[in-house]
Amino acid sequence: MSPEAAHHPHVPGLAHHFDSLEQQTEATTLGMWVFLVTEVLFFGGLFMVYTVYRTLYPEAFAAASHTLDITLGTINTAVLITSSLTMALAVHAAQLGQRKLIMIFLIATMALGSVFLGIKGVEYYSKFVEHHVPGASFHFEEPQLAAHAQIFFSLYFLMTGLHALHMIIGFGIMLFMLGWTWKGTITAEYYSPIEIAGLYWHFVDIVWIFLFPLLYLLGGRGH
Amino acid sequence: MATSTVLIPPRHYLNDGYGIKSWLLTRDHKRIALLYLASVTLFFFVGGAMAVLIRLDLATPAGDLVTDETYNKLFTMHGVMMVFFFLIPVIPSVLGNFLVPIMIGAKDLAFPKLNLFSWYIYVVGGLFTLYALVTGGVDTGWTFYTPFSTVSSTTNVVPTALGIFITGFSSILTGLNFIVTIHRMRAPGLTWFRMPLFLWSTYATSLINVLGTPVIAITVLLVAAERVFHFGFFDPRLGGDPVLFQHLFWFYSHPAVYIMVLPAMGVVSELVAAGCRKPVFGYSFVAFASLAIAVLGFLVWGHHMFVAGESVYSALIFSILSFLVAIPSAVKVFNWTATMYKGAVSWETPMLYAYGFIGLFTIGGLTGLFLAAVGLDVHVTDTYFIVAHFHYIMVGGTIMGYLGGLHYWWPKISGRLYNEGLAKLSAGIIFVGFNLTFFPQFVLGYLGMPRRYHAYPPDFQVLNVLSSAGASILGVGYLVPMVYLMWSLRYGRLAGSNPWGAVGLEWTTTSPPPTENFAETPIVTWDAYDYHAPVEGHVA
């Protein structure tokens, strides 16, 4: 690195300890990928627990899975995939430096995310009404499967709850991105924050792509 | 050694702003390293105080000092404090934070704000755990085995688990920061195979942190959730499987041993090269051995469950895989020894710790092979043999490496030299105290004394008294460096940029370094440990 390059004269968005925007973009992108690897292992612990108990108690898991509302689950899957599309469009707009479009697509992504969480809330509420929330008032229609069904519902609430928490964190990130776009920090030269936010959002989406079949589509729904 | 012509640089990271705010809001990796130094030292002495009480109690067969409930809490909190709040963070967060950017010729870590945030997470997690301690403690052992921890124990399991959960993110984010920094921030010319071995081991450690820590995070979260909501994951009465907890726990907690010892190995590579004025023998083997330990470390957790109903076949496979870890570990030990061969071997303090590390790690590692052998492990499981084994690795390995590194880089950190005579003396005290504390425990364990017991048959008293006596010597050994290092901050002779005549980028900048580390970005044209070329900046 030449001494001139080290004394970069005010490149917008460039932190003092990086030599160039390119280096900064590479570092922040790698940082998000490493973080997502951590996230995979974080959810991985729960998927492990799920695998063990589904193998041990397939009947109870199928019976408990059938009480979930598959229509709402499917709608939510579609909503979330669409939000990934709007997110990708926001990244595309950012690459072109189209400030207005970035904001429109970010807001659309958040709106779709809110629809997802709203539907999730409706589902949680009906589980609450049906006494399917684990704990003292837990009740399952087939008593011989009740204990093991409770493990299923524990996993259901933990996994979808953790997923929802990640979406809420995603909203926080989106708000930051909206602010930066509004202020004009995001340009065609410096759009990596939007791209990195996008990586995160797609990851949260992919987690759901695994959760949906594992939780909703067990044991054949034909009957 | 440096002479009287040494001057302190007019501008350095320690005088770049004063006052509490300049520290608590700093983004300078060197200041954050010192924040960690203060906080891990605090936890070390809290955990150490409990060790003192444990050893005092065990001086008599009846355990006259504390009640059995208190004793259970003491060894639990000792383990929790030492493992999660001292041994795991200590070298990466103190020495790693200080050195990684300097060793690669960068101005800072890739994410300085995230680095400061990691320290705050660590502190918050620590406060949770201290809260659990002062409001009654926890008695599950640091392993939180279920269903005792989820159903039976009436102590503060939830705040302790949350403390560990929170602190885990500090490890994850620090590891992430190091990985990105090492990948993307190296100075021009600093290729992977020109990097100091400390960076290789820090990199390997960071991989484990990023891959393993999230699993313990979700595991302790499950324990806390199960206690509060009675999910039944680990409760046999509800169809849960307590052994599943052990799998999840050791999937992280065995690699965690390598999180503790790999950075110490990295430190020792630096100490041996500088102490022998030679490149480390078989550089690339030592570098790859770090990665091999990180990878193999993830495949051996089952050796903690030989007696927990694991099938014979999986036990055999875990046994073989555990034996494999001995290969990269031995590569390191042999290569350090080969480095010393015909080297101008130094007897200065950092090197004394390196000798200590190599000897004690060898004993700790070889006894690890005893435990990897299924039949022998069944005999000594849950005895003092295990306790002695892992203390040889964690205390004899990690703490020796840490103290060696702290002494070696102290002149760089503080700009001043400590009292060499006192430092040598305390290194000796620590070595003697350590062996007197823990060697008798090998014997006790082999004779059948179980771990975590409050009382024992009178036959075992002699060995226990020896161990307790050793612990008091060890305690003194740890206090003395506190005193002379603090003293040196004010009264120590000025160190100059390179008091050891060592090579490495950190010795080419001033002591203490300026906030941006280097006046201009260095260009690296030499290999690590290039002791044949004239040493830059060394005041002879």
Dist. CA B242–CA B236, nearest whole Å? 7
Cα–Cα distance between B31 and B119 in angstroms, integer? 11
Tell me the shortest Cα–Cα distance from B500 to chain A, in angstroms.
29
Q: Quote the pLDDT of residue B6.
A: 72
Residue partners of B191: CB distance under 8 A and separation at least 6: none
Whether residue A4 is predicted with pLDDT greater than 70 in this model: the reply is no
- Closest CA of chain B from A74, distance in Å: 27
Residue of A17, A59, A137 for testing the chain B interface, max B β-carbons within 10 Å: A17
The model carries a pTM of 0.94
Disruptive mutation site among A38, A127, A151, A159 for chain B (greatest number of B CBs within 10 Å): A38
Question: From the list A23, A34, A41, which residue is nearest B176 (CB)?
Answer: A34
Q: B183 in helix, strand or coil?
A: helix
Q: How much is the average pLDDT of A139-154?
A: 93
A vs B: CB pairs below 8 A:
112
Domain boundaries, chain A: 24-216
When CB atoms are compared, the residue of B184, B217, B218 closest to A23 is: B184
> Are B498 and B507 a contacting pair, CB within 8 Å?
yes
Q: Are the C-beta atoms of residues B102 and B198 closer than 8 Å to each other? A: no
Task: Tell me how many degrees the CA angle B420-B424-B427 measures, rounded to the nearest 5.
Answer: 135
Both structure tokens of A47:
């998927």
- At residue B494, the 3 state secondary structure works out as strand
Asked if the A24-216 domain carries CATH number 1.20.120.80, the reply is: yes
Cβ atoms within 10 A of the Cβ of B20, count?
Answer: 7
Q: Please report, in angstroms and rounded to a whole number, the separation of the first and last CA atoms in chain B.
A: 7
CA B251 to chain centre: 18
| pLDDT tens digit sequence for B82-132 | 999 999 999 999 999 999 999 999 999 999 999 999 999 999 999 999 999
Nearest partner of A34 among B220, B216, B203, judged by Cα: B203
Domain boundaries, chain B: 20-507
Q: What is the pLDDT of residues A99-125, one digit of tens each?
A: 999 999 999 999 999 999 999 999 999
CATH number for B20-507 (one of 1.20.1250.20, 1.20.210.10, 3.30.565.10, 1.10.760.10): it is 1.20.210.10
Confidence class of residue B163 from pLDDT cuts 50, 70 and 90?
Answer: very high
Q: How confident is the model at residue B2 (pLDDT cuts 50, 70, 90)?
A: very low
Inter-chain contact A52–B520, Cβ cutoff 8 Å?
no
pLDDT tens for residues B479-528? 999 999 999 999 999 999 999 999 999 999 999 999 999 999 999 999 99
Q: Which residue of B has its CA nearest to A17?
A: B107
pLDDT over threshold 80, residue B249: yes
pLDDT tens, position by position, B297-354: 999 999 999 999 899 999 999 999 999 999 999 999 999 999 999 888 999 999 999 9
**Interatomic CA distance for residues B471 and B392, integer angstroms:** 13
Report yes or no: A34 and B110 within 8 Å, Cβ to Cβ.
no
Q: Distance from CA of residue A84 to its chain's centroid?
A: 10
Q: Is the pLDDT of residue A2 over 80?
A: no
CB atoms A17 and B106 under 8 Å = yes
Task: Please judge whether A31 and B244 are an interchain contact, meaning their C-beta atoms are less than 8 angstroms apart.
Answer: no
Give the 3-state secondary structure of B392-438: HHHHHHHHHHHHHHHHHHHHHHHCECCCHHHHHHHHHHHHHHHHHHH
Give A171→chain B minimum CA distance, Å. 20
Least confident of A13-27, B196-210, B404-418: A13-27
